[in-house]
Amino acid sequence: MSALGGLSFAVPRGAMFSDTLDILDALGVDTTVIRENDRRLYFPELGIITMRPSDVPIYVESGAAALGITGKDVLLEQPGRRVLELADLKYAGARMILATLDGVDPTIEQQRRLGRVRVATKYIHTATEYFQATGRQAEIVEVKGSVELAPLTGMVEAIVDLTATGNTLKANGLVEREEIFVTTARLIANPVASSLSAQVVDDVARRLRELADRA
């Protein structure tokens, strides 16, 4: 039986990809073929499916993958997904923040004059929930690409986005105003697979928690 007990596993590409492959190696999964085939997405011989982090909960919920790793930010942005969060893996740390152009905070004047602020983000649910929770009115503008452009062009006063180092903010003349939450990589599971293969799922979760605690 494989190191994953024959279960399929959804792996996030992008910033989390290399670290996730490292922990799979630590579990006993030989990820050499994945590292050597950058454009290939599906590795049935390993039970590994690779995809964008935002797609991981979709594949796990549907049962196409029994287990997966994605960011806590993704789970908070998709609160209706029927998946089980099993472990905080304590890597891929970042912060969800509210940012504006440097200088006098433009959201203060905008709130005073119009009673609301315009905010660009990829994280529509997160931004909406945050402004509602803090008792402020906001017009949320969905932006798929580089959200930093929105305040630079005057389209909005603020952005809600993830930052790990703050370097991209600084390079574009933006500054953090508020921290919304901290996110890290999380292990998630399909509820049915977790029930039918409880011993295997529990073993994988335990070993990943141990790796996270030792890191």
Instruction: Give the model confidence (pLDDT) of 168-181 as tens digits.
Output: 999 999 999 999 99
CB-based contact 28:3 (threshold 8 Å): yes
Instruction: Give the model confidence (pLDDT) of 178-188 as tens digits.
Output: 999 999 999 99
Tell me the CATH number of domain 9-92+184-214, given options 1.10.1050.10, 3.40.50.300, 3.40.190.10, 1.10.150.20: 3.40.190.10
Q: In what order do the strands lie in the sheet with 138-142?
A: 138-142, 117-121, 158-163, 94-101, 174-183
| The architecture CATH gives domain 94-183 | 3-Layer(aba) Sandwich (3.40)
Query: Does pTM surpass 0.85?
Result: yes
DSSP state of 97: E
Listed by start position, the domains of the chain span 9-92+184-214, 94-183
Nearest to 162 by CA among 150, 176, 149: 176
